[in-house]
Amino acid sequence: MKRACYDIETMSDFFSVTFLDYDSDEVIQFEISRRKNQLKEIKEFLSSAKYLIGFNSIYFDNIVLQCMIENNIDDVSEIYALSQLVINQEHRYEEFKPYKKYSYWKSIQSIDLFAYWSRMLRLSKKMSLKYFAVNLDEEVLEMPIHHTATNLSDEQMDLILQYNINDCFVTKKLAKKLKEEINLRINIRNDYKLECLSWDAPKIASEILLDSYCKIAKKDKYEMRKNKYYKPSNFRIGDFVPPIEFKTELFNSLKQRILNSYNEFSEEFMFKNVDGSYLKLQYSSGGLHSDNKNQKYISSEEELIVEVDFSSLYPNLYILYNFNSPSFGMDLVEIQRKVLAERIAAKRAKRKVEDTTKKLILNSYSGLLDNQYSPFYAPEYALGMRITGQLCISRVIEWFYLKRIKIISSNTDSVTVVLPKKQHHFIEEVKAQIKKELYFDLEETIYKFIYYSSVNDYIALTDDGKVKQKGAFISDKQIDGSNEFLIIPIALKEYFVNHTPVEKTIKQHENIYDFVSAKKIAKNYKVFYRGNQVQQLNRFFVSDRKNGAYLYKQKEGKTTMENVLKETPVYILNEKTNKKAQEFPIDFSWYINKAQEVINTFEPKQMTLF
């Protein structure tokens, strides 16, 4: 078994480690307990392993296993004490420090899939292996026995081993889904000599850029990492924004308010279109967005819906205007410019790995500017870059306004308009003008229709037949998304694109997992279903009153119960199944009504273009 997914379990009087072959379903398990002591077998197995794939393994499994092996620890209580130290390392850091060295294997290539998402994303989405079990349609199984339990029976030990196996199967399926990400890191490791198999994208970008800079500038990488840049306590935004010229008092006044603000900027104002309609524009440090609530636009024989967006907005901004920490000179800009040119060449030549690598470097850098732990940290330059982007977008809005073209939305790096077909040549004109003034390329997309629940929740069909979905309208399962009741956006897509009644789509759809949602309840609650206490994380679909039941939670110290999903009974489906949706007691009418509610929001506010 050269490539294996693995997972350990540490109980107060039981330890197990499971290895699942990446290329087959072969399972090998070892334990240390009152009935077995297999430390020797664990050592022998690991001596021949080449790749180990885990989840949160760098921060836990690796440390425990390596420490056991190097120090010949085969006492269960000692292993358990070690595991608790590792788990609570933030609060017991001085005790933990000597064990940090065990995070990475010396002779084995270790891949920790948990690390593939940046830390803040992991925290905000509360990512766990159970989270991915839900999204991968695997069994959702929580540890059936508390880790402090003692005097375990053989049956309880076997339950733990089965739980261990389930976690390995989830890890393996996640690894298969992330195959391209893993292979990308292997290629980056080989090309850049970085041990990046368990790094997220920002860290990879940071190390490549830092290494390149230090080589050119002849500086020590270790010293550059320590040379943190700290923002001024009070700064004027205008001091970090290049000159951008406007033609109207409306946008010149806005620009002055932005430039004369200190530390942050936020404003909303109603923009009046040429036809008398209003569009609310929202400016903030996060970006420029319009307020598009329940709006519907359809192209016609006379009019077009056209979106223009800035190509690689942030990468071009920090290359054009040197939005970089003062700790770095123009050498860094030259490196960034070279990476962009190489990415364009790789994309044209269809060198996918190189294209993806360069794109990762370019797109991750803007986040590094805001990361206080990064050597590239320079938040006032990050804000300056984002404000400059908003002013660039505002210049496009103004250009259309002066041409008496109706603006219907703006979002981060794009502007969408409605214009007569006979004025389609204006799109080429705005491209040329923005290229001349701001040195940016604009890209054009023509739409057959757009339905907005909000500017970040929409479905659109392009002129060449591509469906674009965002936010609540995304119908493809996202490995790191909520995927809540996915059948609803699936039905909406079929309705808007193919005119299929939602009732037909929902009743004929066979994948049961597209009907589910999942809720993780905090540990200070108990969860009840059909009068029995159940696990904290449960996956369920909406069912009728005959077959389903309400899912309740009860806070510690309280006697009252709260509904997890107030409006309807549910049916818990934590197991893995191959049954079709029609074999389950689904309340199809609930899903049909939810989809129809979304459709109905557009009917009173039709904005069909004739």
Kindly tell me the sign of the dihedral angle through the C-alpha atoms of 353, 359, 362, 364: negative
Written as one letter, the residue type at 66 is Q
Report whether pLDDT(152) > 90.
yes
Whole-number pLDDT of residue 120: 73
Report whether pLDDT(607) > 50.
no
pLDDT in tens, 506-529: 999 999 999 999 999 999 999 999
pTM: 0.92
pLDDT in tens, 338-382: 999 999 999 999 999 999 999 999 999 988 998 888 999 998 999
Report whether pLDDT(480) > 80.
yes
141-153: average pLDDT? 92
Q: H helices of 301-438, where?
A: 313-321, 330-348, 352-368, 379-402, 425-438
Report whether pLDDT(609) > 80.
no
Q: pLDDT class for 122, splitting at 50, 70, 90?
A: confident
* Angstrom distance (rounded) from CA 56 to CA 115: 7
Contact 164, 15 (CB under 8 A): no
DSSP letters, 116-176, are: GS-HHHHHHHT--HHHHHHHTT------SS-TT--S--HHHHHHHHHHHHHHHHHHHHHHH
Average pLDDT for the chain: 93
Report whether pLDDT(605) > 60.
no
Report whether pLDDT(325) > 90.
no
Whole-number pLDDT of residue 233: 77
Whole-number pLDDT of residue 486: 98
**Beta-strand pair 516-520/537-542:** antiparallel
Whole-number pLDDT of residue 231: 67
Compare 234 and 416 and report the one with higher pLDDT.
Answer: 416
Contact 127, 135 (CB under 8 A): no
Report whether pLDDT(283) > 90.
yes
Residue among 423, 460, 463, 469 nearest 444 (CA): 463
147-159: average pLDDT? 94
pLDDT in tens, 561-603: 999 988 899 999 999 999 999 999 999 999 999 999 999 999 7
